């Protein structure tokens, strides 16, 4: 896991330290007047007034008129813990921002379509702009952001923070997104693989709730897996744990972008599956070519060709999942990504394939299901990781 810290300016650091002093007094003593806060913290009345104004704007405290020693005063009450965390969700064609409070509750969010894959530098600049715009729209001071986690659809080297060479963002290879974002946002930034973050979110909030050992499969342009063992993510020595899309299923199969033949990705990835569609496959007018959501909709509507595509993908995915089940013996496997919306049309052939390829003992306690959080899984995982980082 990669952390990139930026030393905050002395004024920002002092302001945050003073805010913590005020909040600590409110936690211990309950509602206080601003004069009582000034005495308890040793801060000037003007400093307390400015701090309270900022905390009130952020929704951290409420302020009401009251009386103290027969004089009018302002009572300050703590509403929720202070602090803000930020999640940035990079996808090949979309950018998402999530703002959370210090407990990880989603406060505001925004997303835009954007060609993230085209240029990492431009992608980071656009992400920083969107983050700042979202914070302004939510009336949250950027100085209250204590941690930022970026979700990236590719392996992240824990030692260097670099994106690995094999991902759906090939132009990002060797790029250090945490470092670049930290320079623009002026806050500590950590970059993590999207599947690992999605697995954490599903294990905490979604279909993997209660599972101690979880494998979350993410099917999109490629195939990745987030691995949670004993409640903690497992990135591997170089950040490539879970790259199951490059398990070789057929040594004579199609050449994969990793250079090998017959990888799982060449049987399940979106590009491969969409290439199987007949030329007369109908899509919405005014839009480009078909998407996986079109294939899933057609399959659910009974189209035999689409059902065959989904079923064959499920069979291949089950072969890969069987290997993972034998290796890690998880108690839950969840599936995310557009193809997962096919539900049992995908999961049933997966189960049959896993039964043929896994040890019986590896399946005895294993439950296979569709993920519950959809495309938001990585965003929620990033928020939760940001809270853990801040603490």
CATH of the domain at 106: 3.30.420.40
Judgement on whether residues 315 and 281 belong to the same structural domain of the protein: yes
Parallel, antiparallel or unpaired: strands 71-78 and 61-68: antiparallel
User: In the prediction, which pLDDT does 284 show?
Assistant: 63
**45 domain-assigned:** yes
Domain span holding position 90: 84-198+378-390
Total domains present in the chain: 3
User: In the prediction, which pLDDT does 82 show?
Assistant: 64
User: In the prediction, which pLDDT does 10 show?
Assistant: 61
Judgement on whether residues 218 and 366 belong to the same structural domain of the protein: yes
**203 domain-assigned:** no
| Distance separating alpha carbons of residues 142 and 84, to the nearest angstrom | 8
Overall pTM > 0.85: no
C-alpha pair distances (Å), 290 with each of 23, 99, 149, 226, 250:
53, 33, 32, 27, 27
User: In the prediction, which pLDDT does 122 show?
Assistant: 97
Last residue of a domain, one of 51, 78, 105: 78
**150 domain-assigned:** yes
Judgement on whether residues 41 and 112 belong to the same structural domain of the protein: no
Judgement on whether residues 166 and 249 belong to the same structural domain of the protein: no
Q: In what order do the strands lie in the sheet with 214-219?
A: 232-233, 223-229, 214-219, 332-336, 367-370
Last residue of a domain, one of 15, 49, 78: 78
Judgement on whether residues 323 and 288 belong to the same structural domain of the protein: yes
Judgement on whether residues 351 and 382 belong to the same structural domain of the protein: no
**33 domain-assigned:** yes
Judgement on whether residues 175 and 128 belong to the same structural domain of the protein: yes
**329 domain-assigned:** yes
User: In the prediction, which pLDDT does 286 show?
Assistant: 53
3-state secondary structure at position 110: strand
Q: What sign results for the dihedral spanned by CA atoms 310, 216, 198, 104?
A: positive
In which element (H, E) is residue 107 found? strand 106-113
333 in Cβ contact with 366 (< 8 Å): yes
The residue among 321, 326, 324, 359 whose CA lies nearest residue 340 is: 321
pLDDT in tens, the chain (391 residues): 344 444 444 676 688 788 888 988 988 888 999 999 999 999 999 999 999 988 888 777 889 988 777 778 889 998 766 678 999 999 989 999 999 987 788 889 999 999 999 999 999 999 999 999 999 898 887 877 889 999 999 999 999 999 998 888 999 999 999 999 999 998 889 999 999 999 999 999 999 998 999 999 999 888 999 999 998 999 999 888 999 999 999 999 999 988 999 999 999 999 899 999 988 787 765 567 888 999 999 999 999 999 999 999 999 999 999 999 999 999 999 999 999 999 999 999 999 999 999 999 999 999 999 999 998 999 999 999 999 887 6
Judgement on whether residues 40 and 71 belong to the same structural domain of the protein: yes
**113 domain-assigned:** yes
Judgement on whether residues 224 and 288 belong to the same structural domain of the protein: yes
| Distance separating alpha carbons of residues 188 and 185, to the nearest angstrom | 8
């Amino acid at each position: 896991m990669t952390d990139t810290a930026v030393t905050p300016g002395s004024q920002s650091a002092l302001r945050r330290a003073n805010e913590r002093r005020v909040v600590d007094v409110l936690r211990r003593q309950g509602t206080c007047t601003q004069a009582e806060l000034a005495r308890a913290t040793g801060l000037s009345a003007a400093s307390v007034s400015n701090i309270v104004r900022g905390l009130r704007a952020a929704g951290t405290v409420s302020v009401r008129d009251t009386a103290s020693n027969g004089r009018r005063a302002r009572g300050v009450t703590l509403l929720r813990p202070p602090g803000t965390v930020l999640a940035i969700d990079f996808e090949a064609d979309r950018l998402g921002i999530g703002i959370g409070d210090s407990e990880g509750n989603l406060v505001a969010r925004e997303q835009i379509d954007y060609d993230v894959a085209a240029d990492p530098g431009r992608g980071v600049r656009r992400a920083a702009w969107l983050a700042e715009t979202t914070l302004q729209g939510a009336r949250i001071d950027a100085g209250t952001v204590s941690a930022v986690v970026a979700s990236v659809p590719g392996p992240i080297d824990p030692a260097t923070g670099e994106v690995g060479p094999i991902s759906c963002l090939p132009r990002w290879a060797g790029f250090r997104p945490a470092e670049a974002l930290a320079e623009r946002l002026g806050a500590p930034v950590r970059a993590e693989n999207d599947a690992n973050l999605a697995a954490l979110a599903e294990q905490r909030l979604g279909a993997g709730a209660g599972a101690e050992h979880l494998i979350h499969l993410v099917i999109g342009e490629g195939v990745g897996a987030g691995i949670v063992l004993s409640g903690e993510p497992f990135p591997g020595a170089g950040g490539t744990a879970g790259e199951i899309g490059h398990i070789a299923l057929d040594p004579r199969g199609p050449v994969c972008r990793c250079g090998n033949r017959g990888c799982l990705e060449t049987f399940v990835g979106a590009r491969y599956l969409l290439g199987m569609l007949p030329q007369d496959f109908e899509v919405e007018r005014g839009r480009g070519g078909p998407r996986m959501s079109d294939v899933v909709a057609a399959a659910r509507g009974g189209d035999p060709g689409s059902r065959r595509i989904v079923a064959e993908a499920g069979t291949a995915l089950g072969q890969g999942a069987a290997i993972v089940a034998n290796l890690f013996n998880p108690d839950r496997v969840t599936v995310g990504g557009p193809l997962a919306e096919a539900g049992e049309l995908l999961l049933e052939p997966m189960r049959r394939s896993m039964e043929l390829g896994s040890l019986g003992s590896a399946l005895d306690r294993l439950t296979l299901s569709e993920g519950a959080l959809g495309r938001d899984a990585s965003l929620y995982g990033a928020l939760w990781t940001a809270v853990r980082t801040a603490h």
